Homo-oligomer: A and B are copies of this chain.
């Protein structure tokens, strides 16, 4: 067996991604039952890759499953979202501490500094646009990924990925519903505050201050958690039935 990672993608893999996108995108609603034949027809494949995709998405926590009954999109609630955030902030905090204690690889340190410079350029540009907002979202993701990956811990990486899926769904939903505060979360001024957090975290990591880096990252993500909580709660109080 060849050790290199293949670039080839099997039909099962692309089917998995397609169905995940349908769920995250909201085309498949929570509680909705997923029939293999229907999805197979929709995606132009047979039931075999669909079956494997559903199995994978079940293990990712997006689907419910009962043997001989089939799969259904999980009903997500506020508590589940907060639970995901609790785990994520803990793991990313751990990543920061480990990296700070071990010391950053020079290449990663450069990449982080580069990331901060680019973000500074984007966020302090006078004319703020949707394109700039997307650019910041990408830089924000890259920043977190750089730190997580340099911890060099596959379990940590997997755990973070696991807890990222659900918030992604809520994020899209809330933006779709049009909660203005959530939109503002990726607005210019609040993003500038987030960037200040990023800068201080990098400082702490470079100074090998593990506990400080850990605490700041935890607090940084905790802000996200609380923003989500407030706005989702508000939405729940308004409409009584939320459809994430």
Residues of A within 8 A of B (CB): 1-2, 4-6, 8-10, 12-13, 33, 51-52, 55-56, 59, 61, 64, 66-70, 72, 79-80, 83-84, 86-88, 90-91, 94, 98, 152-156, 158-159, 162-163
Copies in the complex: 2
Chain B hits for A88, CB < 8 A: 155
Indicate if the CB atoms of B1 and A154 lie closer than 8 Å.
no
A70→B8 CA distance, assembly (Å): 13
Indicate if the CB atoms of B6 and A87 lie closer than 8 Å.
no
Q: Which of B8, B56, B67 contacts A59 (CB 8 A)?
A: B56
Q: Tell me whether chain A's interface is mostly helix, strand or loop, or mixed.
A: helix
A100→B6 CA distance, assembly (Å): 46
9 contacts between A and B (CB under 8 A): A1-B33, A6-B66, A6-B67, A10-B68, A55-B55, A83-B156, A86-B155, A87-B94, A87-B153
Chain B hits for A72, CB < 8 A: 1
Chain B hits for A64, CB < 8 A: 1
Closest chain B residue to A1 by CB distance?
B69
A35 to nearest B CB, angstroms?
Answer: 11
A159 to nearest B CB, angstroms?
Answer: 5
A50→B12 CA distance, assembly (Å): 15
A117→B236 CA distance, assembly (Å): 45
Indicate if the CB atoms of A2 and B163 lie closer than 8 Å.
no
Chain B hits for A8, CB < 8 A: 67-68
